[in-house]
Structure 1
């Protein structure tokens, strides 16, 4: 709620300083920005916000959609990051191998990949990746890296090296959209939101 109050105060000061107008009189772009910045509750829990945000969602489905801008706030159009960051030590990668009949976005970095040394800490490796059924259920793949000079052979001789590449699905963000809204000192603060009704 604190973030909403700061955003609301900033927008109100910028947009209505000279006019004494009410929030309901704000431009559609400023209404969208103010509502998107609402964090606790999100815009869905603020009755004032539901009509302008539903209007936005409906407009986005039409050809030629242009995002409504709140020029007074200097925030511009929102950004979008569909996926959470990968865990430390992993990097994002795409699962798109070109054989998906165009169902996935090209180069969508929807997975995390990391190189793991399973010989270094076998207990930890087995705890995280040793259950093949769990790996399959969770979409985790473990692939030996060939050409490794370390020769570790586990009991069933499936792998002959210590280094493996572990690939796992990248979690999707609950709130993939964001506005970077500058405060009165010009420092931008990020406000995440979603467009689910």
Structure 2
């Protein structure tokens, strides 16, 4: 609730200063922005926010939808990032990389990293030694072999030593994939993450 009050104060100063209007008199775009900025609780736990956000969710399914903008806040339309960052030591990749059989998606929905399973066999086996657990977690373990595009990861003296493996796992999805960057004092922006689940 504290974040909602903070955001409300900032938005009110930007949006309502000339008229002295109240938050409930705000345009739909400002209501959406104000409610999206509510963090604890999220908009679902703020009775004022449920009607404008449900109206937004319903409107998004209609053809020709335009996101309602809060002009005075200068935040524009929200951004969206479906996935969290990959864990340290791994990088994002698409599950369709190298797959010419189906339509390509432009989302990096996997995390990939190269590990040396010989450096710490006990730790490697604890994390990836159970094939059933790997299947449940949709994790793949691929030994990097000589002659592949992965030669950089192989031992140059012994082209294939069986130690280097590629671990691919699903990239974590964000609980709150939408965000607004709301300007504060002196042009500095603060990012507020939110979701559109009812």
Structure 1 length as normaliser, TM-score? 0.89
The two structures, once aligned, show a CA RMSD in angstroms of 1.8
| Count, aligned residues | 188
Residue 70 (structure 2) pairs with residue 46 (structure 1):
no
Deviations 1:29-53 (A, max 9, x none): 1000000000111111111111111
Residue 135 (structure 2) pairs with residue 119 (structure 1):
no
Q: For residue 173 of structure 1, give the secondary structure of its aligned residue in structure 2.
A: coil
Q: d(CA) in 2 for partners of 1:98 and 1:45? A: 45
After TM superposition, the structure 1 = structure 2 runs for residues 176-187 of structure 1, keeping only pairs within 5 Å, are 176-187=177-188
After TM superposition, the structure 1 = structure 2 runs for residues 166-185 of structure 1, keeping only pairs within 5 Å, are 166-185=167-186
**How far is the alpha carbon of 1:176 from its aligned partner?**
0.6
Runs of 5+ unmatched residues, structure 1: 153-158
- Structure 1 segments, 4+ long, off by >3 Å, are none
**How far is the alpha carbon of 1:160 from its aligned partner?**
4.5
Query: Is contact 1:116–1:165 with CA below 8 Å preserved after alignment?
Result: yes
Q: Provide the residue aligned with 1:146 in structure 2.
A: 145
Structure 2 length as normaliser, TM-score? 0.89
Query: Is contact 2:32–2:52 with CA below 8 Å preserved after alignment?
Result: yes
**How far is the alpha carbon of 1:132 from its aligned partner?**
1.1
Query: Is contact 2:155–2:161 with CA below 8 Å preserved after alignment?
Result: no
Runs of 5+ unmatched residues, structure 2: 147-153
Q: d(CA) in 2 for partners of 1:176 and 1:122? A: 37
Q: Provide the residue aligned with 1:11 in structure 2.
A: 11
